Amino acid sequence: MHNRLTKLIFSFFTLLIISSNAAAEYSLNMTRGVTPISRDIYDLHMTIFWICVVIAVLVFSVMIYAIIFHRKSLGCVPAKFHENTTVEIIWTIVPVFILIGMAWPATKVLIDMEDNSKSDMTIKITGYMWKWHYDYLGQEVRFESNLATPMEQINGREPKGKNYLLEVDNPLVLPINKKIRFITTANDVIHAWWVPALGIKKDAVPGFANEAWAIINKPGIYRGQCAELCGARHGFMPIVVIAKSEFEYEKWLKNQKKK
């Protein structure tokens, strides 16, 4: 009874894991995103994931084999061995090489990610309790971005909209195919600016400035949330980025400057 149940449960989880890649549309997996870095991150994530799956399958099959076949109830007599230096050295050294194999591509992506030079424009982002301020440095355009979901939806008095809790009154509008530098800081406590599609998550620390960059390759609307507990309405200060073509962006910017 034990081995069948265990096998059943195990196959369920294996299926779940394998199906995760295919089920990306059901939001089971990380987004591939729309920037070179977000795509690199996704590739790294999948690589590490599959390496872990392979190791897990190897190790767990040994365990499950032992559970099924090395039982007292089957009349097994326990073996006497309790050490084997060669094997122990092998299974200490081999994981080190696997880890080096994982760390090498990760380091490359990391160095790329942290190279904020040669940017085309800078956006200064300030986290407040509980909203974001955006400042297009050098353009004299600055505004607040608040959650736009009405309280009636939150309290359940109205049906919830499609972008429940992920909509704002003034989204951040950005051009595509330009290297955009983001500077994050905060007004009061630590917040974090996170847009999964851009592959950016940076803490916004009061009194300090942090840097991140992105080149958005596809126009569209990308949503994110605050990713550092900042008080009661931490879950109610989303981020909306609208990426427009250069021409549309210039039009929008000109409009903003008039206000």
Under rule CB under 8 A, which residues in 177-196 are in contact with another protein? 181, 183, 185, 187-190, 192, 194, 196
CB of 148 to another protein, least distance (A): 13
CB of 106 to another protein, least distance (A): 5
Q: Residue 139 in contact with residue 215, Cβ under 8 Å?
A: no
Q: Residue 218 in contact with residue 198, Cβ under 8 Å?
A: no
Strand partners for 179: 215
CB of 74 to another protein, least distance (A): 8
CB of 220 to another protein, least distance (A): 15
Between 210 and 256, CB nearer to another protein: 210
Structure tokens at 201: 């998550």
Size of the site for another protein (CB under 8 A): 113
Binding test (CB under 8 A) with another protein, winner from 15, 52, 57, 221: 52
CA atoms within 13 A on the CB side of 18: 9
Between 44 and 215, CB nearer to another protein: 44
Contact region for another protein (CB under 8 A) — 168-176, 202-210, 243-251?
202-210
Query: Which residue, 181, 144, 167, 178, is CA-closest to 221?
Result: 167
8 touches another protein (CB under 8 A): no
For 118, 120, 127, 198, the CA distances from 29, given in Å and listed in that order, are 32, 32, 28, 15
Structure tokens at 162: 């499609």
Q: Give the number of other Cβ atoms within 10 Å of residue 184's Cβ.
A: 24
**For residue 68, what is the enclosing H or E element?**
helix 36-69
Between 16 and 245, CB nearer to another protein: 16
CB of 30 to another protein, least distance (A): 5
109 touches another protein (CB under 8 A): yes
- For the beta sheet containing 179-186, the strands, ordered from the edge strand earlier in sequence to the opposite edge, are 141-145, 131-136, 121-128, 179-186, 210-215
> Whole-angstrom Cα distance, residue 148 to residue 163?
10
15 touches another protein (CB under 8 A): no
Q: Is residue 25 classed as helix, strand or coil in its secondary structure?
A: helix
List binders of another protein among 124-153 (CB under 8 A). Answer: 124, 126, 129, 135, 137-138, 153
List binders of another protein among 63-92 (CB under 8 A). Answer: 63, 66-67, 70-73, 76-84, 87-88, 91-92
Phi and psi, residue 196, nearest 5°: -55, -40
171 touches another protein (CB under 8 A): no
227 touches another protein (CB under 8 A): yes
Between 162 and 258, CB nearer to another protein: 162
